[in-house]
Amino acid sequence: MTFDVPQLNEFILVGSSVLLLAILAVRLSSRAGLPSLLVYLLIGVLLGESFIGIPFEDAVLAQVLSFAALAIILAEGGLTTSWADTRPTLRLGLSLATVGTVVSIAVVAVGSHHLLGLPWQIAVLLGAVCSPTDAAAVFSVLRTVPLPRRLKSALESESGFNDAPTVVLVTLISTGAVSEHHPGIVVLLVLGQLAAGIAVGLAAGFGGAWLMRRVALPTAGLYPLAVLSLAMLAYGSAAVLQVSGFAAAYVAGLVLGNSDLPHRGATRSFAEGVGWLAQIGLFVVLGLLLSPGRISMGTVGLAFAAGLILTLVARPVSVLVSAVVQPMSWRELSFMSWAGLRGAVPIVLTTIPLSEGVPGAERLFDLVFVLVVIYTLITAPSLPLVARLLKVARRSEPRDLDLEAAPLERVAADLLQVTISPHSRLHGVEVGELRLPPGASVSLVIRDGSTLVPQLATTLRRGDDLLVVTPRKVRERTEQRLRDVSRGGRLAQWLHEDDGRGQH
């Protein structure tokens, strides 16, 4: 089959139109509190043979494209994740990604076989593909929910690591290799691939950071390309070594994103853009692969029942068992149980048995597709309400401002945006009473649509937006001080300011 210039022109016309539509849909989905995957999946279904008429039934090609997109999404997730936030909850994240995944697979498999009547192989595959949380869904939805940093970081690190062992396990089950080995050998094989992938990611990340600090590229636009290429180099190297490329890409991105590299702001913005592009392509391809004509009411009912087992039994039990390594309150554990967002990853994983020709794989694909759509519609919009009911939501805190500002890179500083919520005790506090660390300052106040250059005696009000410039080395202390004043008012931690030892 040849691909000529007229076909290229048509491809560019349709592709750019779909891409623009998908980008515009991001705002709609974010306002509704939904992962954008639902919109993108719908676009793919509409483009498919049942509606517009684009034929696509190549499960192997879908798997290849999905794996490439997922590697980019994980790399972007690592590049935009704070290591300072992730480090305290890393044990819990890894426990959820390994022990929690195994527990969830077992519960879903047993429940699906005995309660829903699925054959054992399909029941185990259903548990395996549905147990990992989705990085794209978690990164996009949870970052808009006001959660404590340790809770959000635990969920993000889980989604970053749990793809790796699950891909290995689903492949072993689909090829029949899992039946040829003792369960203990399978566990060691999965953990070994994860550990080796992490090692490759660390090597690529630290080696790449060392290189980027010493190379002088001729233009700033090359730095983001180089950093993302290093993360993908980690994926490719790990895959060639037959260890987990997904873990390698995420870890390499995490190391690179938290290293003091040139043009970090531009790199992060570029990675986010490429990550969105990968998400759009991934979900549209998966939508194209679905044939709506195969979906019956029986499939919908089965998907709903399987989702109940997964959401109300398997996920809570897996969270409870995983939390043994790092105990948390029952409120936090309850939220983590509800916030196990599924998205593209379960659908991507079903392409493995599809490409291997596993009996019943087509039914499994349809079942998982419907399950993901139903429970995304139920779970994602409810997260802010659930966080408030469980009292795990926090007040408005400093958050990074998406801003391209090269001069800040030259002075190794960061720009923070702070919104004073209606219940914040920052209301009534003068700027001089904030007592921020040396070098940090409130540079601008936006009040009722007007800008104000603050003085030390300027009084902050509810609803104000503050722009705070802070040297990168004291950024964490600046954010912590603002949180303390937001909770305790102007006298918060009077004896523990700046250096943490008291300074009058």
- Band of the pLDDT at 493, cuts 50, 70, 90? low
Confirm whether 200 is domain-assigned: no
Over residues 154-176, the mean pLDDT reads: 82
pLDDT attached to residue 74: 87
CA distance 402 to 415: 9
Domain that holds residue 445: 399-488
Q: Which of 271-280, 303-312, 349-358, 399-408 has the lowest mean pLDDT?
A: 399-408
Contact indicator for 28, 248 with CB cutoff of 8 Å: no
Q: Which of 206-220, 355-369, 402-416, 449-463 has the lowest mean pLDDT?
A: 402-416
Confirm whether 54 is domain-assigned: yes
Residue pointed to by tokens 């790796």: 164
The CATH number assigned to the domain holding 263 equals 1.20.1530.20
Do 151 and 271 lie in one domain? The reply is: yes
- Going along 333-419, which residue ranges are E strands? 399-400, 413-419
pLDDT attached to residue 219: 78
CA distance 38 to 34: 8
Confirm whether 350 is domain-assigned: yes
Cα 84 to chain centroid distance, Å, stands at: 17
pLDDT greater than 70 at residue 402? no
Single residue among 333, 364, 389 that ends a domain in this structure:
389
Single residue among 389, 422, 453 that ends a domain in this structure:
389
pLDDT one-digit tens code per residue, 15-30: 888 788 777 776 666 6
Do 372 and 478 lie in one domain? The reply is: no
Q: Is 480 strand, coil or helix?
A: helix
Between strands 450-452 and 441-447, the pairing is antiparallel
Confirm whether 82 is domain-assigned: yes
pLDDT greater at residue 164 or residue 428: 428
Residue pointed to by tokens 């990168």: 472
Confirm whether 199 is domain-assigned: no
- Band of the pLDDT at 502, cuts 50, 70, 90? very low
CA distance 93 to 123: 26
Do 465 and 373 lie in one domain? The reply is: no
Domains contained in the chain, number: 2
CA distance 498 to 288: 55
Q: Which run of H or E residues covers position 446? A: strand 441-447
pLDDT attached to residue 395: 54
Confirm whether 289 is domain-assigned: yes
pLDDT greater than 80 at residue 176? no
**Residues with Cβ within 8 Å of residue 15, at least 6 apart in sequence:** none
pLDDT greater than 50 at residue 70? yes
SS (H, E, C) 247-262: HHHHHHHHHHHCCCCC
Q: What one-character DSSP code corresponds to residue 182?
A: -
Single residue among 389, 421, 441 that ends a domain in this structure:
389
Do 334 and 376 lie in one domain? The reply is: yes
SS (H, E, C) 448-500: CCEEECCCCCCECCCCCEEEEEEEHHHHHHHHHHHHHHHHHCCCCCCCCCCCC
Among 83-87, 128-132, 418-422, top mean pLDDT goes to 128-132
Q: Which of 84-88, 111-115, 321-325, 396-400 has the lowest mean pLDDT?
A: 396-400
Do 83 and 48 lie in one domain? The reply is: yes
Do 406 and 449 lie in one domain? The reply is: yes
pLDDT attached to residue 313: 94
Q: Give the residue from 79, 80, 48 showing the smallest Cα distance to 62.
A: 48
Residue pointed to by tokens 């003792």: 182
Q: Which run of H or E residues covers position 452? A: strand 450-452
Do 269 and 321 lie in one domain? The reply is: yes
pLDDT attached to residue 497: 41
**Residues with Cβ within 8 Å of residue 467, at least 6 apart in sequence:** 401, 415, 416, 417, 442, 443, 444, 445, 446
Do 480 and 378 lie in one domain? The reply is: no
Over residues 155-174, the mean pLDDT reads: 82
pLDDT attached to residue 397: 47
- The structure tokens listed for 345 are 């990853």
pLDDT greater than 80 at residue 343? no
Q: Which of 224-228, 248-252, 332-336, 418-422 has the lowest mean pLDDT?
A: 418-422
Rg (CA), the chain: 24
Over residues 206-218, the mean pLDDT reads: 85
pLDDT attached to residue 236: 94
pLDDT one-digit tens code per residue, 352-376: 888 888 888 888 999 999 998 898 8
Predicted model pTM: 0.75
Do 404 and 378 lie in one domain? The reply is: no
Do 379 and 430 lie in one domain? The reply is: no
Over residues 403-426, the mean pLDDT reads: 67
- Band of the pLDDT at 229, cuts 50, 70, 90? very high
Percent of the chain with pLDDT over 90: 18
Confirm whether 50 is domain-assigned: yes
Do 134 and 261 lie in one domain? The reply is: yes
Confirm whether 83 is domain-assigned: yes
Do 180 and 322 lie in one domain? The reply is: yes
pLDDT greater at residue 415 or residue 334: 334
pLDDT attached to residue 215: 82
Q: 324 exposed, middle or buried (CB, 10 Å; 0-12, 13-18, 19+)? A: exposed
Contact indicator for 116, 305 with CB cutoff of 8 Å: yes
Q: Is 49 strand, coil or helix?
A: coil
Q: Which of 103-117, 281-295, 318-332 has the lowest mean pLDDT?
A: 281-295
Q: Which of 291-300, 328-337, 392-401 has the lowest mean pLDDT?
A: 392-401
The CATH number assigned to the domain holding 443 equals 3.30.70.1450
Q: Which of 192-206, 275-289, 463-477, 489-503 has the lowest mean pLDDT?
A: 489-503
* Number of residues that make up the chain: 504
